[in-house]
Structure 1
Amino acid sequence: MYKKILLPTDGSGYAEQEVDRVSRLLCDGGEVIILSVAGKITSSAFQRKNKIKKVNERLKREATEAVEHMKEMFDDSINVKTLVKTGFPAETINQVAEEEDVELIVISASGKSGLHKFLIGSVAEKVLKTAEIDVLLVHNN
C-alpha cells in the first residue's frame, strides 16, 4: 500500500481503470495527486500572439477539466489533490513526483492516439524510463 500516489491524466477515456487501480493501492489516510500537464504553444513568425494566447488558455482549461473530471470518480473518503502544470508532460510528471514526494506514479499505457502520439512519442514510456520511483503502467483495452 502507498501513502502518496501521482495520477497523471491527459483527459483520455481510460480514467476509470486508473482510478480503480489507485483506489486499491492507496493506504488508509493516503493521498492521490491528479496531475494534468497543459502544453504551451510559443509564438512564431506565422502565428499571431492573440491566437497563441487563446490556444494556451484552451489547453489549460482542458487540463483543468480533466483533473476535475477524474477527481469526481474517486470515493469521497479518499484524499484527492489536483494540479495543473504547463510544460512537457513526461518531464513535468517526474518533477511533480519529486516535489510532492510521491511513492508511485500510476499512468495509462495509452491515451492520446493517432498522428499526435506518433509525433511526440509515448509519455507513459518516457515516464517509465526516466522516473526515479515506482511506476505502474495501466494497460487499457
Structure 2
Amino acid sequence: MYKKILLPTDGSDYAEQEVDRASKLLADDGEIIIVSVAGKITSTAFQSRRKVRKINERMKKEANESVAKMEKLFDDSVNVKTIVETGFAAEKINEVAEREGADLIVIASSGKSGLHRFILGSVTEKVLKTADIDVLLVHND
C-alpha cells in the first residue's frame, strides 16, 4: 500500500480511470494528490498579448476544472489534495511528486499511437522515463 499517490489529470475520461486503481493501492491513512498542469504560451508577432493572456487564463481554468472533476470521484473518507501548476506537464508532474513526497504516480495512457502521438508528444512516456518513483501506467484502449 502507498501513503501518497499522485494522480495527474488532463480532464479526459482516461484520467478518471486512474481513480479506481489508485483507490485500491492507497493505504488507509494515505493521501491522493491530484495534479493538473496548464500550459503557458508567450506572445508572438502573430498574437497580441491580450489574446495570449486570455488563452493562458483559459488553460488555467481548465486545469482547475480537471482537478475538481477528479476530486469528486473520490469518497469523502479519502484524503485528497489538489494542485494546479503551469508549465511543461511531464516536468511539473515529476516536480510535484518530489515536492509532495509521493510514493507512486498513477498515470493513464491515452492510447494514441503513430503520427498523432509523434506530433503531440507523450507526457505519459516522458513521466515514465524521468520519474524517480514508481509509476503505474493505466492502459486505455
Given the two structures, how large is their TM-score scaled by the length of structure 1? 0.94
* 1:29, distance to aligned residue in structure 2 (A): 1.1
Contact 1:12–1:111 (Cα < 8 Å) also in 2: no
State how far apart, in whole Å, the 2-side matches of 1:23 and 1:32 are: 9
Contact 2:8–2:15 (Cα < 8 Å) also in 1: no
* 1:14, distance to aligned residue in structure 2 (A): 1.6
Partner of 2:13: 13
Contact 1:11–1:66 (Cα < 8 Å) also in 2: yes
Identity of aligned residues (%): 71
State how far apart, in whole Å, the 2-side matches of 1:107 and 1:136 are: 6
Partner of 1:40: 40
Which consecutive segments of 4 or more residues in structure 1 shift more than 3 A? 111-118
Given the two structures, how large is their TM-score scaled by the length of structure 2? 0.94
Gaps of 5+ in 1: none
Counting only pairs closer than 5 Å after superposition, residues 105-124 of structure 1 correspond to structure 2 as 105-110=105-110, 117-124=117-124
State how far apart, in whole Å, the 2-side matches of 1:63 and 1:16 are: 14
Q: How many residues align?
A: 141
Deviations 1:61-117 (A, max 9, x none): 000000000000001110000000000000000011110010000000117889774
